[in-house]
Structure 1
Amino acid sequence: MTRYVALLAGINVGGNRLTMADLRDALEREEFEAIETVVASGNVLFDHEERPSAGLAEKLAWVVRDRFDIETFAIVMTRAELAAAIAENPFSEDGEEKFVHTIFFMGQPEADAVENLILDYTGKGNERIAAGTNALHVDYVDGAGNSKLTGDFIERRLGMKGTARNMRSMKRILAKMDEEV
């Protein structure tokens, strides 16, 4: 069995209320094992027979849609992939953990789209932005809640949906993945 983390998009925001106990119960019925949730925002640790992350992401989204009537998608990673995402974030060393985010996508945003997003946003705020592997790294210097660099702005510019986690949450998830189950 391999240990994975799934980052579910849009859970317990925008009216998509789901208890983590109900989510754990639904996943147990679908051959996910050693299920843990980290914070009530759709971060799920689980063991599963090794398979491509895309297949697991599709299975997770199907379970949430089928059992709870919530449209979502999942980003699924191994411990090594999560650690790599943390390490590649250029703002993690000098930014405040709660303000430094990684927005994960199901594929790699086109380089031109990322460059245009950065150009379109230049002068609109203090945020720092950098491309990542299937991700966009953002330091919301003054806080994400006060920013004009919204999820909608990013998704429109890149043409793909993403799900964001701050550095504090990602480090917490990584630490949980290091614990014995």
Structure 2
Amino acid sequence: MARLLALLGSINIGGNRVKMADLKAAFADEGFGDVQTVAASGNAILSDDREPVFIETQLERILADRFGFKSCVMVRTRDEVARAVADNPFHGEGPQHGSDKMVHSIFLSQQPQQSAFDDLLELHKSKGSERLALGTRVLYLDYVYRVGVSDLSNKFLERKLGVKGTARNMNSLKNILSKMDAE
């Protein structure tokens, strides 16, 4: 069976509180194999051979039915996670001595239109120091200083790009990737 990463948006933010043990049990109850959660921020490594789009829909249903909230779920293969690290042009260039804490890969529900990304770049060019680049179903973003002071919130980015997304910083992604490789 393929090892996959399920990235759950908006977990343990605001009112969407879920214990990782409960999340793991819910996914296992629904037939997903070898479920492992990483951190308490909505990262689940699991085994399954079904199509990722089917898994995304099923996990979103589980979150709604069992935990009472709507979440956007992105499922990626180990190679897609590795590319989200390796292809991030800002990886290793963080302002805090190469720290990747502010460098993110935002996993997108689908590929946004290039014109929407170009409009976003133009709009933001005079507003902040953040750097952006577009990959394949991934938006690379270096927040430079702090996520909380940026105008580039997830809701803003989703509205401008016309797609859903969930972000992970490089430190988290490298940790997740090491756990996927340990299997």
Aligned to 2:180, the other structure's residue is in SS state helix
Residue 175 (1) aligns with residue 178 (2): yes
- Mapped partners of 1:18, 1:59: distance in 2: 17
Which residue number in structure 1 is paired with residue 90 of structure 2?
Answer: 91
Match of 2:108 among 105, 109, 120: 105
Q: Deviations over 1:56-99 (max 9, x none)?
A: 11111111111111101211111111101111111003223110
Q: TM-score, normalised by structure 2?
A: 0.95
The amino acid of 2:167's aligned partner reads: A
AA partner of residue 3 (structure 2): R
Paired residues in the alignment total: 179
Which among 135, 155, 161 is matched to residue 158 of structure 2? 155
Give the drift of 1:3: 0.7
Which runs of 5 or more residues in structure 1 are unaligned? none
Q: Report the secondary structure of 2:101's partner residue.
A: coil
Q: Percent identity?
A: 46
Indicate if the aligned counterparts of 1:9 and 1:42 stay in contact, CA closer than 8 A. Answer: yes
Q: Report matched runs for 1:61-72 at 5 Å.
A: 61-72=60-71
Provide structure 2 residue ranges, at least 5 long, that are not aligned to the other structure: none
* TM-score (structure 1 length as normaliser): 0.96
**Distance in structure 1 (CA, Å) of the matches to 2:44 and 2:22:** 12
- Matched letter for residue 105 of structure 1: L
Deviation at 1:172, TM superposition (A): 0.4
Indicate if the aligned counterparts of 1:109 and 1:135 stay in contact, CA closer than 8 A: no
Give the distance between the partners of 1:155 and 1:80, measured in 2 at CA.
24
The residue number in structure 1 matching 2:20 is 20
**Partner of residue 39, structure 2:** 39
CA distance in 2, matches of 1:148, 1:87: 26
